[in-house]
Structure 1
């Protein structure tokens, strides 16, 4: 059996934080997914579409 790098106490603390902060956890997951997509898989067409979304969003603020 392989040894885990994270202590049992740390795993419990992480689980508790995730249970107490579901919206923050979701936000961080979505942000990470978006960044990964843009860095590794986005095409020129994707960039153009995202640019339009950003421009529209900035106008609304």
Structure 2
């Protein structure tokens, strides 16, 4: 299915029920959102890694 980009973008921008970030996306906002997501995932990985090390230490101490 082909979509005429110009018409679709102008239709989205005219729809005032959508938030401004949807109507007028910014690459900088997208980059910031991606960075935040990456930080969250890195923190989750670090927490899992620390929990795994603690379990291994508890298992070897017994």
Q: Which TM-score applies when normalising by structure 1?
A: 0.35
Structure index of larger Rg: 2
Q: Which TM-score applies when normalising by structure 2?
A: 0.34
Higher relative contact order (CA 8 A, sep 6+): 2
